[in-house]
Structure 1
Amino acid sequence: MSIGVFLLAFGLSATVLGGSVALNVRGAAASLERRAAANAELRRHARGILDPAQRVASAGVYRFLGTAVALAGSLLALVGLVETFA
């Protein structure tokens, strides 16, 4: 398997997964926000701190990160496409 095929496959999967978070398909960004809040609360309870957990990242942050991953994935897919057919 050549590097072009690997870059193409990795880039396309990163584009699809990052785009689904960036566009909040089926509530992906919102569920990541809820999961981060639940994990932060569990960590605080394990330490014995019983206050409510502070918000670490909002859904907007996850959507921004998803956009960055999707753009990087599309760049990798483009490089893989050029490498495969050049």
Structure 2
Amino acid sequence: MNVAVVLLTLGPLLIAAGGWVALNVRGAAAALERWAAANAELRMHARGDLGPAPRVASAVFYRYLGSVNALCGVLLTLGGLVELA
């Protein structure tokens, strides 16, 4: 398979997924924050610790990761376009 095809497939997917979280479309970053908090609570309960779960990451952190993901997608897309030329 041609490298340009792979890069031009993965790049826009990363841009879309990262942009979705970075722009908090339909509360994606907030949902990831709630999901991480629920998983941390479940892990603590499985260990037998019934105290409050520590805060793992905030929605702002997930939005930052989404923007990094989208920028990496832009780089992959540009790399795929360079491979085509």
Tell me the TM-score normalized by structure 2: 0.97
Partner of 2:18: 18
Greater shift after overlay, 44-53 or 75-84? Answer: 75-84
User: How far 1:34 sits from its partner (Å)?
Assistant: 0.1
State the number of aligned residues: 85
**Which amino acid in structure 2 is aligned with residue 56 of structure 1?**
V
Which segments of structure 1 move beyond 2 Å, counting only runs of 4 or more?
Answer: none
Partner of 2:41: 41
1:27 is paired with a residue of what secondary structure?
A: helix
- Aligned counterparts of 1:16 and 1:78: Cα–Cα separation in 2: 15
- Aligned counterparts of 1:81 and 1:14: Cα–Cα separation in 2: 15
Whether 1:77 and 2:77 are equivalent positions in the alignment is yes
Q: Which runs of 5+ in 2 are unaligned?
A: none
Greater shift after overlay, 39-48 or 74-83? Answer: 74-83
Partner of 1:8: 8
- Aligned counterparts of 1:38 and 1:23: Cα–Cα separation in 2: 23
Whether 1:31 and 2:40 are equivalent positions in the alignment is no
RMSD: 0.6
Q: Which runs of 5+ in 1 are unaligned?
A: none
Identity level (%): 65
User: How far 1:51 sits from its partner (Å)?
Assistant: 0.3
